[in-house]
Amino acid sequence: MTVWIETELCNGCMSCVKECPYGAIEIQEGRAKILDRCTSCGLCVLVCKQGAVHSDVVPREIPDFSDRKGIWVVAEQRGGELMRVSLELLGKAAELAEQLEEDVCALVLGWKTSGFAEELMRYGASKVYAADHRLLEHYRSDAYTKVVCELIENYRPNIVLIGATMLGRDLAPRISRRVRAGLTADCTELSIDEKEKILLQTRPAFGGNVMATIANRYSRPQMATVRPGVMKPGAPG
Ligand code: SF4
Ligand code: SF4
């Protein structure tokens, strides 16, 4: 798979340089040049108005996700206490929801969970789904995965956030595999791309030497786990 520039057509407008998520295009002597780090994602082909970028890669069509709405936080409780990371995620979810003009929902699984709804709503959830059963009192991979996946398939959220705790690190990949969605683990920052309205998920990469920002254009929900302690809970309402 190759991407190349037809230099006679290039006017050095920089559109492809700005679009490339991998910093793989430079302007040299007034013309674009593709660097070795190009991943052949094909985005620059789509933005060049001069038709100067060519590729033998067929760009993937982005599916219609207009039925996907809502930012979900899978809240974690232990022994009757909500884990602080759940409140931190609700704080971030509220920021993202404002930009997307979508609702924040919390999911809580356990036994005798009714007391959690009020606290989750005070910290930003506008809706709480509670799966309440004696068999969910303690974390079980299969049971928790089944319940969360069924809720995702029925209510079709746009984004699902889970704490990168012991529980979250076990649960999140199982869910993402089951619902065929991408997952970015151990994020330290989340934001919304202004233009595409998709989730930008930033996490350390290459042993922590660089920060990588990952976006998921082709599947939903957009799923991320977030390290505890890096985000702040919103002020309780
Ligand atoms: S977008 Fe096209 S014309 Fe503009 S710099 Fe890139 S290759 Fe050249
Ligand atoms: S194909 Fe993708 S990675 Fe390669 S130069 Fe174009 S935008 Fe950058």
Instruction: Check if the beta carbon of residue 192 is closer than 8 Å to that of residue 200.
Output: yes
- pLDDT above 90 (res 90): yes
Atom of ligand 2 nearest to the CA of 43: 7
Q: Which ligand is nearest to the CA of 31?
A: 1
Domain match, 27 and 135 both: no
Q: How far is residue 3's CA from residue 19's CA, in Å, rounded to a whole number?
A: 14
ipTM above 0.90, yes or no: yes
Domain match, 107 and 45 both: no
Owner of token pair 């709503």:
121
Ligand 2 near 25 CB (within 6 A): yes
Instruction: Check if the beta carbon of residue 69 is closer than 8 Å to that of residue 127.
Output: no
Ligand 2 near 20 CB (within 6 A): yes
- The residue type at 45: V
Domain match, 50 and 82 both: no
95-130 pLDDT per residue, tens: 999 999 999 999 999 999 988 999 999 999 999 999
Atom of ligand 1 nearest to the CA of 15: 1
* Pocket test residue of 6, 15, 17 for ligand 1, highest count of atoms within 8 A of CB: 15
Q: How far is residue 201's CA from residue 212's CA, in Å, rounded to a whole number?
A: 8
The confidence score (pLDDT) of residue 237 equals: 76
The confidence score (pLDDT) of residue 24 equals: 92
135-167 pLDDT per residue, tens: 999 999 999 999 999 999 999 999 999 999 999
* Pocket test residue of 11, 18, 27, 55 for ligand 1, highest count of atoms within 8 A of CB: 11
User: Three-state SS for 53?
Assistant: strand
Least Cα distance to 89 among 109, 101, 107, 102 occurs for 107
Residue 39's alpha-carbon distances to 22, 54, 147, in angstroms, are 8, 14, 37
Domain match, 131 and 155 both: yes
Domain match, 143 and 30 both: no
Q: How far is residue 83's CA from residue 46's CA, in Å, rounded to a whole number?
A: 44
Lowest average pLDDT, out of 55-69, 80-94, 143-157, 216-230, goes to: 55-69
Token readout for 26 is 């430079």
Give kind and range of the element (H or E) at residue 188: none
Q: Which ligand is nearest to the CA of 38?
A: 2
**Strand ranges (DSSP E) for 124-237?**
127-132, 159-163, 183-187, 189-192, 199-205, 210-215, 222-226
> DSSP 3-state helix, strand, coil percentages of the chain (rounded to 5)?
30, 30, 40
Residue 111's domain comprises 71-226
Average pLDDT over residues 191-215: 89
Domain match, 41 and 76 both: no
Count up the domains in the chain and report the number.
2
N residues, the chain: 237
How far is ligand 1, taken at its centre, from the CA of residue 26, in Å? 10
The confidence score (pLDDT) of residue 51 equals: 93
How far is ligand 2, taken at its centre, from the CA of residue 36, in Å? 10
The confidence score (pLDDT) of residue 59 equals: 66
- pLDDT above 90 (res 173): yes
64 occurs within a structural domain: no
Q: How far is residue 159's CA from residue 60's CA, in Å, rounded to a whole number?
A: 21
72-84 pLDDT per residue, tens: 999 999 888 899 9
Average pLDDT over residues 223-235: 91
Ligand 2 near 41 CB (within 6 A): yes
Task: Assign 41 a pLDDT band (cuts: 50, 70, 90).
Answer: confident
* Pocket test residue of 19, 34, 45, 217 for ligand 2, highest count of atoms within 8 A of CB: 34
CATH number of the domain to which 44 belongs: 3.30.70.20
How far is ligand 2, taken at its centre, from the CA of residue 143, in Å? 42
Ligand 2: which residue has its CA nearest to atom 7?
20
Domain match, 124 and 180 both: yes
233 occurs within a structural domain: no
